[in-house]
Amino acid sequence: MNNMQRKAKFTAMEHATRADFDLVFAHEAENAAGLADRVLGWLQSMDGDSPYQVSRLEHCLQVATRAEQDGADEETIVCALLHDIGDVLAPANHSQIAAALLAPYVSEKNHWIVKYHGLFQGYYWFGHYDLDRDARDKHRDHEHYRACVDFCERWDQVSFDPDFVAMPLEHFAPMVRSVFAKTPASRY
């Protein structure tokens, strides 16, 4: 009998037993094992109409390709690929959603870059709306400030180019699987 056919016996957590939680955690492990494939599916769903000259998926592929061409490590390439994955679930705070997804699997530096890239991208468009294009500077003293500026300048803001030849999603799929196969950091 698989874990989905068996049910925990409690209706309130305060009444659960170790056996109940063993069952729940086994299900969570099965769910986690499919995370990379779900993430790749979310990316694929971004391949549609867009107000940009490229789809949201193509944008992500361009950012990841540029990172790879610059010699970035696998984890950084995957973060480049997934930096906008939050658009699928929460466009208003897509950076934070992407960062939360990646947090248990990536370095603090890459997590910080993904979390703040939306604010840092504002440097390129905030001025058109009478917003402070230098709003990112409130983080100027942070150790990863320069890395986030570079991420946006070299890879993100330039990746809306219909003539740029990006690697296909299939090229990055093994990297995504590798990153999500890591033992996640504690979530508590």
Q: Output the pTM of the full model.
A: 0.91
CATH number for 35-180 (one of 1.10.510.10, 3.30.300.30, 3.40.50.410, 1.10.3210.10): it is: 1.10.3210.10
Start-to-end Cα distance in the chain: 30
Contact, 65 vs 169, CB < 8 A?
no
Using CA atoms, how far residue 94 sits from 78, 85, 89, 136, 163, in Å, is 16, 7, 8, 17, 26
- Average pLDDT for 54-59: 98
pLDDT band at 6 (very low <50, low <70, confident <90, very high): confident
From CA 78, how far away is CA 104, in angstroms rounded?
14
pLDDT in tens, 66-93: 999 999 999 999 999 999 999 998 999 9
Question: Residue ranges per domain, the chain?
Answer: 35-180
